[in-house]
Amino acid sequence: MTLRVEVLLERWQLREPFEISREVMHELPLISVSLTDGSGHTGRAEAAGVDYDGETPASMAAQIDAVATLLRDDLSGKDLLNLLPAGGARNAVDCALWDLRAKQRGLPVWALAGLPQPRPVVTAFTLGLGSHEEVRRRARAARGLPLIKLKVDAQRHLDLLHIVRDELPEARIVIDANQAWTAGLLADLMTDLIAAGVELIEQPLPRGADDALAGLHSPIPICADESCTDRSSLPALHDRYQAINIKLDKCGGFTEALALANEARAHGFDLMVGNMCGTSLGMAPAFLVAQLARWADLDGPLLQVGDRTHAMTFGQGVVQPPQPALWG
């Protein structure tokens, strides 16, 4: 039986403009997807898509509409890998399908996926780019949080890092350049990054310029974000990166995220699980994948004015497992 498919285009207001090296966001465009079977069970999910690859809510909705008649009740996550390419559309459908299966069978997704019962996760809190005054204000507001992710670019890096370290002397810090650095700048900054206690450098070089990292043996692990999509991207990351950032929007859903996590760990990569921003509905499936990861970055809802009903609970940098009424 074909599932009833509903796709909504949504916009969620951010608490304040969120700047990274390539853009400034004022609101977050999303799609939400509902899949309903003949008995009235409904699975829900959302996706933000991969904006730097040109995905928009409209393009994701069109992708889903093109395969809507093929979304049958007996469809599996593995079937979906052949039906849609990696990206936001497949992520939304795949996660909605997992939620639907949980509702149909009366079992949580973690049990259906063969995962252990989830535990609370320490999540990074992200500080976007800004002036010295803005970054200092945000860092002060983040006092007491254990893990900070600091956005930087080619001009603003050590100055912002020193401000954050001054305000948050005990915090663990991850740096994210979003492809804005060169190999030379990375080398120039390395001593200061080590001295400031940075524990991970995320995507310093542009995607496609990864050859410059070959054989680097960086004292701080380097994490592939934009350079890592799904399992097909892993071979090109060897000898260049020590960790990968798994985002469900990039890899195309919970099914591929689990497979990517397991294959990456088997090849010696550490894992971060991140997000393209979103509500608790988008963080919930990523939370289960984060059970396998060294770092989690699931703070999307904290950057927004509102959230879903039955929202996930965040406190002192720790996120609790989602309620079944939200997802899974």
- Active centre residues (catalytic): 151, 247
Mind giving me the DSSP string for 100-149? Answer: HHHHHHT--HHHHTTPPPP--EE--EEE----HHHHHHHHHHTTT-SEEE
Token match 């700048």: residue? 185
Give 189: exposed, middle or buried? Use CB within 10 Å, 0-12, 13-18, 19+.
Answer: buried
Check if the beta carbon of residue 33 is closer than 8 Å to that of residue 9. Answer: no
* Residue spans of alpha helices (H) in the chain: 57-67, 77-83, 88-105, 109-112, 132-141, 158-167, 183-195, 248-251, 254-266, 280-290
Check if the beta carbon of residue 298 is closer than 8 Å to that of residue 127. Answer: no
* Residue partners of 244: CB distance under 8 A and separation at least 6: 223, 224, 225, 228, 234, 237, 260, 264, 269, 270, 271, 272
User: C-alpha distances in angstroms, 45 versus 99, 138, 181, 228?
Assistant: 8, 30, 34, 23
What is the C-alpha to C-alpha distance for residues 157 and 151, in angstroms, rounded to an integer?
8
